[in-house]
Chain A
Amino acid sequence: MTLLEITDLTLSIGALKILDRVSLSIAPGEIVAVTGESGSGKSMTALAAMRLLPERAKVAGHVMLEGRDLLAQSEAAMCAVRGREIGMVFQEPMTALNPVRTIGDQVMETILIHGAMDRDAARARAREVLERVGLPEDRFPLSRFPHELSGGQRQRVVIAMAIALRPKLLIADEPTTALDVTTQAQILDLLKGLVQDYGMGLMMITHDLAVVSDMADRIVVMRRGEVVEQGATRQLFARMHHPYTRMLFEASGHRVTLPAPPPPAPLLEVRGAVRDYRLPRRHLMRDPGVHRAVNAVSFTLNRGERLGLVGESGCGKSTLTRAILGLEPLQGGEILLDGQPVWSGHRPNLAVRRRMQVVFQDPFGSFNPRHRVERLVTEPFHLLDSPPRGAARREAVAEALTAVGLQPGDAGKYIHEFSGGQRQRIAIARALIIRPELILFDEAVSALDVSVRAQILDLLAELCAAYQLSYLFISHDLSVVRTVTDRVLVMKAGEIVEQGETARVFAEPQHGYTRALLAAAPTLPEVGAA
């Protein structure tokens, strides 16, 4: 008998249709992945099963849990179902826990709210499930607060809360998207183990096909509120009936061809760079000490070279980026662009600064919403002594927009009129407009859907051919770095542990950490590649 049976689930908010006759089922002990790009309705399907939809949502169809239609239950009956029969894990572990209550308290709450046990038994159970998710008593007592834990540890607490009452069904909505690859691998292992131990059904929502390819029993592919294809994982990858599935698969593993780099001539030289942050003072008289975020980092980026920088969150990637941009001073070593220091005396060196530009991760937060595109892309002009005016300025804007695949006419629009991918194109146009010698891409494609990401990677390859770009591409996504860089640096705890040609590092990693990173990175199966 199936555990969860969704039939013809239709959902609309106002005039907007979010889900259109979605049908899928999950058996006990089965892992079903629901995948698709943003706006495909995968999260809404999960929230509809939990009946945690926005108030104005109108739902039709059936969501049967062991023969009971959840859509027909009263709110009080649903409160008894949530947490007890269906557990849910969310994407963002940093904010999924209440910051002012201890982890023990929050895990116990699931048990106590359903009146399943008395306080002592609930405490024992909380202890037990935290142990099960890998947070042992001696290091993670129940009295810990969420802010004392890392992202991966917090996600373990959220999972512990969801499984405290051994629900029949666990829904995990992008549970590892916000985590590093090695942490992601551990959390995925944990979820698999729980399904095995408890015989739960698991609905796993993800935009990343590679994450679920070797763990899901079945895959449901959604697009714009509809299920376009579903089936057993291996058959689905082998057949890929629907062009959208094929497109998703191809976009996830998208490769581009870069033009060959010119013969090496140093452009950016980082020599023994050290960046310290003062720690908060704990004793009035004692020196508070420092945290060394970047420790004696040295590397050279040649003119026309595409260099990758990979590492997990907190390894010092972003700090190093800020230092290269001259946004923060170094405590040791030096950073030179074309022989000139980026930091001269007590201030950033403007002469160098105008030769570098940066593209950030968040296509939504990195633009002023009240400015038109023309003003946004011409922002770097303030670095120039005599910025172009009048017709020359308009021409520069038109050229930059055309180079990134937009229309010159887009200059008069506001940023909210563009999609995430288009915004990232505008960010690249903003970086290109003063023809910098070096561009830093700081997780520039990490927030994009796979199909959009593939387009931006293509754009980068085209721009490399047209403008002979030199860039430093910072990312935690190894598959992207693999295709858009010539050489790669691997950073761990503030130090570069390995560097070399990208193809070689990926094929024969020397350092143990690089090997661990590569082993943890999810990969697509080979079947569909043909």
Chain B
Amino acid sequence: MLRYSLKRLLSLILSLAVASLVIFFVIEVAPGDPASFMLGINAQPDTVAALRAELGLDVPKAERYLAWVGGMVTGDFGTSYTYRTPVARMIADRLWVSLPLALYALMLSTLIACPAGIYAAARRGRPGDAVVMGATQLGVAVPNFWFAMMLVLVFAINLRWFGAGGFAGWDKGLLTGLHSLTLPAIALALPQAAILARVMRSALLDILGEDFMRTARAKGLSRRQALWRHAVRNALIPVLTIIGLQFSFLLAGAIIIEQVFYLPGLGRLVFQAISARDLIVVESVVMLLVFAVITVNFMVDLAYALVDPRLRART
């Protein structure tokens, strides 16, 4: 298990190094010089050159890459070209919204999906299964911003249980903060839950057909006992994979939901930074997301090994 974890950790570090290289150079070759963009099309060449020097864009690429990576390791993400404030602080502010939102949505989606998937698999071909599958079909098909608008219409405008948008902040207390994230989290979670429930169901159905399920029944386990004791854990591997993918999506892919609910999240920050050619912000946020994805995958890998002893043995 230790060897397995160390190997995974090594692969995590390598992935991060490669990802940072790719991000830096891809963004470097993207058209649009931040200095000329900031000064507008009528700017004098020497003014642009001066700004480039001030922004540190005139030093060689390799040097800039090393400085960028070195800075990130020590928590210095540089200064935003447009806002002239430290990128680290900008990201940290947004992360305080996006990370709880993503975790909240992920929790909701897992809490909805796992019971739904297990319920459907246990009642394969019966009305309960059909209802759950129909609902997930709808959940996959309907875009999350439509859910978002419906949630606002019903719970914010008609029932007035929640605000229609904006973020109250954490300083007014945990519950107030969570309260303002609830509708967006539900809107994000529903489509994810639909996918996850379908994965859970089909993984379970595969397992239910396995020989060892028949062995379990021959020992005297009831259908339900066999399902919970022998099938669920075996079905977790594909489910964990999807949960890992969903977390990365929820962290970065919430731009539309953040717009609908007017949340100051990471998605909106990236969107604004790309429009303003604020390369240093884009680079940093993308790198952060990559870091999050790779770390989550690392944790999913460790979870696999906890679930399946065969992976522990294979070093």
Q: How large is the interface on A (under 10, 10 to 19, 20 to 34, 35 or more residues)?
A: 20 to 34
Contact B221 A95 (CB under 8 A): no
The answer for the CA separation of A110 and B217 in the assembled complex, in Å, is 10
Interface segment out of the listed A72-80, A259-267, A455-463: A72-80
Contact with B along A86-107 (1 / 0, CB 8 A): 0110101001111111000000
Contact B222 A76 (CB under 8 A): yes
Which residues on B sit within 8 Å (CB–CB) of A96?
Answer: 211-212, 214-215
The answer for the CA separation of A79 and B223 in the assembled complex, in Å, is 9
Contact A147 B313 (CB under 8 A): yes
Query: Are A110 and B219 also in contact (CB < 8 A) when A95-B211, A98-B212 are?
Result: yes
Which residues on B sit within 8 Å (CB–CB) of A188?
Answer: none
Contact B307 A90 (CB under 8 A): no
Interface segment out of the listed B78-86, B137-145, B229-237, B251-259: B229-237
Closest to B308 in A: A100
Which residues on A sit within 8 Å (CB–CB) of B313?
Answer: 145, 147-148
Query: Are A147 and B218 also in contact (CB < 8 A) when A100-B234, A280-B315 are?
Result: no
Q: Does A282 contact B (CB under 8 A)?
A: yes
Contact with A along B200-228 (1 / 0, CB 8 A): 00000000001110111111111001000
> In the complex, how many angstroms separate the beta carbon of A153 from the nearest chain B beta carbon?
16
Q: Does B172 contact A (CB under 8 A)?
A: no
Contact B222 A50 (CB under 8 A): no
Contact A82 B214 (CB under 8 A): no
Which residues on A sit within 8 Å (CB–CB) of B216?
Answer: 98, 109
- Identify which of B211, B222, B315 contacts A282 (C-beta below 8 A): B315
Which residues on A sit within 8 Å (CB–CB) of B315?
Answer: 280-282
Contact A83 B310 (CB under 8 A): no
Contact with B along A131-159 (1 / 0, CB 8 A): 00000000000000101100000000010
- Identify which of B212, B214, B234 contacts A52 (C-beta below 8 A): B214
Interface residues of B in 133-163 (CB under 8 A from A): none
Closest to A145 in B: B309
- Identify which of A87, A95, A148, A161 contacts B210 (C-beta below 8 A): A95
Contact B219 A145 (CB under 8 A): no
Which residues on A sit within 8 Å (CB–CB) of B218?
Answer: 50, 52, 82-83, 87-88, 90, 162
Q: How large is the interface on B (under 10, 10 to 19, 20 to 34, 35 or more residues)?
A: 20 to 34
Contact B310 A95 (CB under 8 A): no
Closest to A51 in B: B217
Q: Does A81 contact B (CB under 8 A)?
A: yes
- Identify which of B219, B309, B314 contacts A82 (C-beta below 8 A): B219
Interface residues of A in 147-185 (CB under 8 A from B): 147-148, 158, 161-162
The answer for the CA separation of A281 and B3 in the assembled complex, in Å, is 11
Which residues on B sit within 8 Å (CB–CB) of A158?
Answer: 215
Contact B220 A83 (CB under 8 A): yes
Contact B222 A109 (CB under 8 A): no
Contact B210 A113 (CB under 8 A): no
- Identify which of A82, A145, A148, A281 contacts B220 (C-beta below 8 A): A82
Contact B220 A80 (CB under 8 A): yes
Interface centre among A80, A97, A98, A148 (most CB of B within 10 A): A98
Which residues on B sit within 8 Å (CB–CB) of A82?
Answer: 217-220
Q: Does A84 contact B (CB under 8 A)?
A: yes
Contact B309 A81 (CB under 8 A): no
- Identify which of B210, B211, B222, B310 contacts A79 (C-beta below 8 A): B222
Q: Does A114 contact B (CB under 8 A)?
A: yes
The answer for the CA separation of A99 and B307 in the assembled complex, in Å, is 10
- Identify which of A81, A92, A97, A99 contacts B308 (C-beta below 8 A): A99
Contact A145 B310 (CB under 8 A): yes
Which residues on A sit within 8 Å (CB–CB) of B233?
Answer: 100-101
Query: Are A147 and B221 also in contact (CB < 8 A) when A97-B215, A100-B233 are?
Result: no
Query: Are A99 and B310 also in contact (CB < 8 A) when A76-B222, A82-B220, A282-B315 are?
Result: yes
Contact with A along B233-244 (1 / 0, CB 8 A): 110000000000
Which residues on B sit within 8 Å (CB–CB) of A113?
Answer: 219-221, 225
> In the complex, how many angstroms separate the beta carbon of B121 from the nearest chain A beta carbon?
14
Which residues on A sit within 8 Å (CB–CB) of B220?
Answer: 79-84, 110, 113-114
Contact with A along B1-45 (1 / 0, CB 8 A): 001000000000000000000000000000000000000000000
> In the complex, how many angstroms separate the beta carbon of B167 from the nearest chain A beta carbon?
42
Which residues on A sit within 8 Å (CB–CB) of B314?
Answer: 280
The answer for the CA separation of A138 and B216 in the assembled complex, in Å, is 27
Contact A100 B219 (CB under 8 A): no
Interface centre among B3, B216, B218 (most CB of A within 10 A): B218
Closest to B215 in A: A96
Closest to B216 in A: A98
> In the complex, how many angstroms separate the beta carbon of A291 from the nearest chain B beta carbon?
15
Contact A100 B211 (CB under 8 A): no
Which residues on B sit within 8 Å (CB–CB) of A52?
Answer: 214, 217-218
The answer for the CA separation of A419 and B14 in the assembled complex, in Å, is 53
The answer for the CA separation of A467 and B231 in the assembled complex, in Å, is 53
The answer for the CA separation of A109 and B310 in the assembled complex, in Å, is 21
Which residues on B sit within 8 Å (CB–CB) of A162?
Answer: 218-219
The answer for the CA separation of A52 and B3 in the assembled complex, in Å, is 43
Listed by A's residue number, 10 A-B pairs whose Cβ atoms lie within 8 Å are A52-B214, A83-B218, A90-B214, A90-B218, A95-B211, A109-B216, A109-B219, A114-B220, A161-B215, A281-B315
Closest 7 CB pairs of A and B: A83-B220, A83-B219, A95-B211, A88-B218, A82-B220, A145-B309, A98-B212
Residues of B within 8 A of A (CB): 3, 210-212, 214-222, 225, 229-230, 233-234, 307-310, 313-315
**16 other A-B residue contacts (CB within 8 Å) besides A80-B220, A88-B218, A90-B215:** A52-B218, A76-B222, A79-B222, A95-B210, A98-B212, A98-B215, A99-B212, A99-B308, A99-B309, A113-B225, A145-B310, A145-B313, A147-B313, A161-B219, A162-B218, A280-B315
